[in-house]
Amino acid sequence: MLTADLLRELTAIVGANWCLDAPADLMAYSFDATPLYQHLPDAVVVPGSPDEVAAIMKIAYKHRIPIVPRGQGSNLSAGTVPTQGGIVLGLNRMQALKEIDQENMTCTFEPGLVTAKLHQAVEALGLFYPPDPGSMTVSTLGGNIAECAGGLRGLKYGVTKDYIIGLEAILADGRTLKVGGKNAKDVAGYDLVKLFVGSEGTLGIITEATAKLIPLPETKRTMLALFTDLTGAARSVSRIIASRIIPATLEFLDNATIRVVEDFARIGLPVEAGALLLIQQDGPESICERDIARIASICREEGAFETRLAQNAAEEAALMTARRAALSALARKKPTTVLEDATVPRKHLAEMVEQINLIAKKYSVDICTFGHAGDGNLHPTCMCDERDQEEIHRVEMAFEEIFEAALRLGGTITGEHGVGESKAGYLEWRVGPTGIEVMKGIKSAFDPHHLLNPGKIFARETRRRVVVRR
Ligand SMILES: Cc1cc2nc3c(=O)[nH]c(=O)nc-3n(C[C@H](O)[C@H](O)[C@H](O)COP(=O)(O)OP(=O)(O)OC[C@H]3O[C@@H](n4cnc5c(N)ncnc54)[C@H](O)[C@@H]3O)c2cc1C
């Protein structure tokens, strides 16, 4: 609980409408898109400018109050659940698109700007900001930066870290740090811009960012390839890339996901298909045509029983929207949806999906898998019911084994959703004790009293590694 005096000080900074401590407000900010995690904050403060952020941080620093920065709370790793109380700092009031610099091909914005709004604004000028998380119509760019969000275009265009070139951040003690800018080249000292990308709100509060833009591709073509089983789909992924074609999008849905998505979106997906690849290529018209024809023939050679080309922009949009709706569609099946983010080198895609299916069977849990096949980034998603503790225990055991399997194949515990609190116990499995030590040193240099998003990234205890013999 914050004292009445502290609440008065915070209210004086942001105004009465933006400092909230009514029970219903605290409840609304006690959870995010991650199931199984919830904790009430002591207050929610929503600043309207970097100066207000700095003033709030100074108070929090003086009184050692935890600060949990929050965009739209759409993260999937419990990254904004205030599990140690304190202040939830809502950044979505600061949402100005400050500049699109067409000569430098950069844009500068506040952290609360919604990702899709930036897409619309730059695309109207023939420019392109590629990172496109499935949540892009709700997520903020501040949240994308703090998670290093990926998306459907990651294979060809990279992820958030490949575009952010400048930042302003307010540090734990209220000082302002400005790093990077519009320069295409800048190697003056450590790359603090990249350090902030993916820092999950644990190093400072991002109050402004500059991203590089690229020219908007001239056109795009979208197709589906339908397979009886996942092996043909996975082999197609490897062969497409081995033949030196990098599609803009190369997404995978297993049979269970196809069924649920079709039931949700009603766009005529064949529910009997064992696996589906959704493929998009963009660029000059002749290159799109050539690549899509080549991709279709590779898929057929690898056993696709059907390939379908979207005939117009409406069909193409329906396919992409259906893929982006996969999580929402799956969430309708059972009360609790646990979506994970295991990632492997793409040549191990088929093996990883097989492992996931075996593990789901072993623990009698209901797991569908979809994801960014071209990146080897899979989202095994478990439909369960958190009121059934015994089932939740089996779900946890299954995901532990899934992470273990991903690491055994040279992969990682998270490709794009971040560590947050839900995967903190597994981080050491991926980076080792030295990695943890170095990261903790960086954390302490920025935030000596560990007030910024405490409990995220670093666990009190590393999970014991499961030993699986196969
Ligand atoms: C349906 C659905 C689909 C999704 N698809 C994808 C996908 O394809 N790819 C992908 O990568 N993710 C995806 N996500 C996950 C999520 O949307 C992303 O992690 C997104 O970047 C979070 O943005 P947000 O504004 O909701 O941030 P939040 O959830 O509010 O915050 C995320 C993290 O950023 C920190 N943070 C937020 N703002 C700031 C700031 N200004 N300064 C410092 N730290 C800050 C928070 O403390 C937290 O650690 C999906 C989620 C859903 C629900």
The pLDDT of residue 323 is: 87
100-215: CATH topology: 3.30.465
Q: What is the arithmetic mean of pLDDT over 441-458?
A: 98
pLDDT, tens digit (0-9, with 9 covering 90-100), for 185-194: 999 999 999 9
Instruction: Indicate whether residue 151 lines ligand 1 (CB < 6 A).
Output: yes
Q: Is-contact 228 303, C-beta < 8 A?
A: yes
- Residue 469 pLDDT greater than 60, yes or no: no
- Residue 466 pLDDT greater than 70, yes or no: no
The pLDDT of residue 307 is: 96
Beta bridge partners of 19: 45
- As a whole number of angstroms, the distance between CA 80 and CA 447 comes to 17
Taking the domains of the chain in order of start, what are their residue ranges? Answer: 4-90, 100-215, 219-328, 334-446
First CA to last CA across the chain, in angstroms? 51
State both tokens at 396: 């946890």
H helix intervals, 221-254: 230-242
pLDDT, tens digit (0-9, with 9 covering 90-100), for 290-319: 999 999 999 999 999 999 999 999 999 888
Instruction: Indicate whether residue 47 lines ligand 1 (CB < 6 A).
Output: no
Beta bridge partners of 176: 170
User: How far is CA 234 from its chain centroid?
Assistant: 23
The pLDDT of residue 265 is: 87
Minimal CA–CA distance to 136: which of 323, 387, 292? 323
* CA 147–ligand 1 middle distance (angstroms): 6
The CATH number of 4-90, from 1.10.3720.10, 3.90.180.10, 3.40.50.1820, 3.30.43.10, is 3.30.43.10
Class of domain 219-328 as given by CATH:
alpha beta
Contacts of 311 (CB under 8 A, 6+ apart): none
Single-letter residue type at 174: G
Q: What is the arithmetic mean of pLDDT over 110-119?
A: 98
Instruction: Indicate whether residue 205 lines ligand 1 (CB < 6 A).
Output: yes
**Whole-Å CA distances, 70 to 48, 60, 81, 217:** 14, 16, 9, 33
- Residue 15 pLDDT greater than 90, yes or no: yes
pLDDT, tens digit (0-9, with 9 covering 90-100), for 29-47: 999 999 999 999 999 999 9
Nearest alpha carbon, ligand 1 atom 48: 79
Nearest alpha carbon, ligand 1 atom 19: 75
- Residue 468 pLDDT greater than 70, yes or no: no
State the chain's mean pLDDT as an integer. 95
- As a whole number of angstroms, the distance between CA 44 and CA 201 comes to 16
Higher-scoring residue by pLDDT: 408, 324? 408
Burial 55-90 (b: 16+ CB within 10 A, else e): bbbbbbbeeebbbbbbbbbbbbbbbbbbbbbbbbbb
* CA 312–ligand 1 middle distance (angstroms): 31
The pLDDT of residue 464 is: 78
Grade residue 380 by pLDDT with cuts at 50, 70 and 90. Answer: very high
Report percent pLDDT > 70 for the chain: 99
Contacts of 174 (CB under 8 A, 6+ apart): 54, 55, 57, 58, 61
Q: What is the arithmetic mean of pLDDT over 171-183?
A: 97
* CA 74–ligand 1 middle distance (angstroms): 5
Q: What is the largest CA-CA distance in the chain?
A: 71
Instruction: Indicate whether residue 411 lines ligand 1 (CB < 6 A).
Output: no
- Residue 234 pLDDT greater than 70, yes or no: yes
- As a whole number of angstroms, the distance between CA 422 and CA 427 comes to 10
- As a whole number of angstroms, the distance between CA 368 and CA 356 comes to 9
**Matching fold, domains 100-215 and 219-328:** no
Architecture of domain 334-446: 2-Layer Sandwich (3.30)
The pLDDT of residue 128 is: 98
Q: What is the arithmetic mean of pLDDT over 9-30?
A: 98
Beta bridge partners of 210: 108, 166
CA count, 13 A, side-chain hemisphere, 395? 23
State both tokens at 404: 């273990």
- Go through the chain and tell me how many residues it has: 470
